[in-house]
């Protein structure tokens, strides 16, 4: 089935009949060049999960369901959950000026900035860190968090907070400084304390530098044929909220189930996480919520995408009923193919019945 268009494969499977594990496999197999892990779930139930290809081509390591992947910008969604846990503990306020927590931040703009605006990319803080990282020499440089904030996240506002939208990684340097200052813990320790241990996550955490050194991690590639070519993009610790989270497909399902079914966060925090603040961008806090045609009807879904180096991923979860698709790849997989595969798998999960 290699090389077939996904849409044609969905029709061939027949959406009126229950999707089996073989049906999901055929959809993945039809997505030409796929190398990664795909998962389909409903609530806590894993209906299908499969690793295809190589996690580490140089050493012949096969792709497993438990293989770990960089999540790229889905790290921002995870960071939002961490901050909302601190809000639930009464330690942070989404709408307080950040100078309440960082009195050493520049006073004029700091009095106008809030975590809600930082986490929704509607703050006006210019994306100075992204501009700096275009120089490869800067990518591996580490520095203390507030030093990074002063250098890359303290410029004059590009617009008044709340009036426009700009996808600025620099927002997350400030958010990380706030979380670490108020908790007295490094961000990686906060993730371990607030997410990993309480949820029993087995393959998740925060890395720094080149993720290839993390045990069980897939290696990121520019291409696998004719020869494997690695494509690392090191993430310094000061950018951990913007792109330093790693996970496996089963772990991400556990996290999404816990957060989006309303139990792990307070009702107010869950609502904040899933309420779009910038409707034209479908952007809430750290990620998107979209109403799309799924399984033949309009459904509201958490709509998460991430990339870094050779890693590409998506996670979709319908908020009303927990139908979930997670696709993780590590060889610079085509974005259009990735999106088509995610859509096909999510549509197929509504074909009727339970996976066999």
Give CA separation, 277 vs 118, 174, 259, 285, 287, in Å: 11, 19, 19, 8, 11
The answer to whether residue 69 is domain-embedded is yes
Q: How many CB atoms lie within 10 A of CB 211?
A: 23
Tell me 283's DSSP state. B
List all residues 6 or more positions away from 116 whose beta carbon is below 8 Å from its beta carbon. Answer: 94, 95, 272, 277, 285
DSSP lists the bridge partners of residue 39 as: 49, 326
What sign has the CA pseudo-torsion 222, 224, 229, 231?
Answer: positive
Domain assignment present for residue 356? The answer is no
- The DSSP H or E segment spanning 8 is helix 6-13
Q: Where are the beta strands (DSSP E) in the chain?
A: 36-42, 45-52, 54-56, 61-62, 69-70, 205-206, 221-223, 229-230, 245-247, 288-294, 297-308, 311-318, 323-329
Confirm whether 337 is domain-assigned: yes
- My answer on whether 197 and 48 are in the same domain is yes
- Clarify whether residues 113 and 170 are in a common domain: yes
Question: Smallest Cα–Cα separation from 272: which of 115, 63, 71, 167?
Answer: 115
Q: Which residues contact 333 (CB under 8 A, 6 or more apart)?
A: 33, 34, 35, 36, 312
**Structure letter (DSSP) for residue 11:** H
Q: What is the domain range of residue 61?
A: 6-75+186-348
CATH number at residue 114: 1.20.58
Backbone angles phi, psi at 117, to 5 degrees: -75, -35
Specify whether 315 is located in the same domain as 215. Answer: yes
Instruction: Give start and end residues of each alpha helix (H) in 184-334.
Output: 187-191, 197-199, 240-243, 249-260, 267-274
What pLDDT does 260 receive?
A: 97
User: CB atoms < 10 A from the CB of 8, how many?
Assistant: 11
Cα four-point dihedral sign 147, 150, 195, 350 = negative
The verdict on residue 1 lying in a domain is no
289 lies in the same domain as 333? yes
334 in the same domain as 201: yes
In this structure, how many other beta carbons lie within 10 angstroms of the beta carbon of residue 34? 23
What is residue 135's predicted lDDT score, i.e. its pLDDT? 76
Q: What is the pLDDT of residue 351?
A: 86
Q: Note whether 190 and 327 are same-domain residues.
A: yes
| End residue of a domain, out of 165, 183, 201 | 183
pLDDT confidence of residue 132: 83
Please give the model's pTM, rounded to 2 decimal places.
Answer: 0.93
Tens-level pLDDT at each residue, the chain (356 residues): 333 344 444 333 334 445 788 999 999 999 999 999 999 999 999 999 999 999 999 999 999 999 999 999 999 999 999 999 999 999 999 999 999 999 999 999 999 999 999 999 999 999 999 888 777 767 778 999 999 999 999 999 999 999 999 999 999 999 999 999 999 999 999 999 999 999 999 999 999 999 999 999 999 999 999 999 999 999 999 999 999 999 999 999 999 999 999 789 999 999 999 999 999 999 999 999 999 999 999 999 999 999 999 999 999 999 999 999 999 999 999 999 999 999 999 999 998 644 33
Specify if 253 maps to a domain. Answer: yes
What's the domain count of the chain? 2
The predicted structure's pLDDT at residue 92? 98
Residue 18 is encoded by which pair of tokens? 């229950």
Specify the pLDDT at position 2. Answer: 37
Contact 47, 325 (CB under 8 A): no
Distance CA(157)–CA(120), nearest Å, equals 15
Q: What is the pLDDT of residues 100-119, one digit of tens each?
A: 999 999 999 999 999 999 99
Residue 21 within a domain:
yes
Q: Are 236 and 262 part of one and the same domain?
A: yes
Which CATH number belongs to the domain containing residue 306 in this structure?
A: 3.40.710.10
């Amino acid at each position: 089935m290699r090389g077939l268009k996904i849409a044609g494969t969905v029709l061939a499977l027949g959406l009126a009949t229950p999707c089996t594990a073989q049906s999901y496999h055929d959809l993945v197999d039809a997505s030409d060049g796929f190398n990664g892990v795909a998962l389909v779930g409903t609530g806590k139930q894993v209906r299908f999960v499969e690793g295809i290809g190589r996690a580490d081509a140089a050493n012949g390591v096969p792709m497993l369901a438990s293989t770990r992947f960089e999540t790229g910008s889905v790290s921002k969604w995870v960071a939002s959950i961490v901050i909302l846990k601190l809000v639930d503990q009464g330690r942070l306020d989404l709408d307080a000026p950040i100078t309440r927590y960082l009195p050493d931040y520049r006073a004029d703009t700091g009095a106008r900035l809030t975590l809600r605006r930082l986490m929704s990319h509607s703050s006006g803080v210019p994306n100075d860190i992204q501009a700096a990282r275009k120089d490869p020499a800067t990518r591996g440089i580490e520095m203390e968090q507030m030093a990074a904030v002063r250098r890359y996240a303290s410029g004059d506002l590009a617009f008044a907070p709340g009036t426009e939208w700009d996808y600025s990684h620099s927002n997350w340097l400030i958010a990380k400084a706030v979380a670490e200052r108020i908790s007295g813990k490094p961000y990686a320790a906060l993730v371990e304390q607030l997410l990993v241990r309480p949820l029993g996550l087995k393959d998740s955490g925060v890395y720094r530098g080149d993720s290839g050194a993390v045990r069980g991690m897939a290696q990121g590639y520019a291409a696998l044929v004719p020869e494997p070519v690695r494509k690392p993009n090191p993430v310094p610790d000061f950018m951990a909220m913007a792109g330093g989270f790693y996970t496996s497909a089963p772990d991400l399902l556990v996290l999404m189930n816990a957060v989006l079914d309303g139990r792990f966060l307070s009702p107010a925090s869950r609502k904040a996480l899933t309420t779009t603040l910038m409707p034209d961008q479908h952007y809430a806090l750290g990620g998107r919520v979209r109403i799309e045609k799924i399984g033949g009807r309009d459904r509201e879904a958490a709509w998460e995408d991430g990339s870094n180096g050779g890693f590409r991923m998506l996670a979709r979860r319908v908020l009303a009923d927990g139908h979930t698709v997670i696709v993780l790849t590590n060889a610079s997989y085509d974005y259009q193919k990735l999106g088509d595969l995610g859509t096909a798998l999510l549509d197929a999960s509504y074909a009727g019945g339970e996976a066999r």
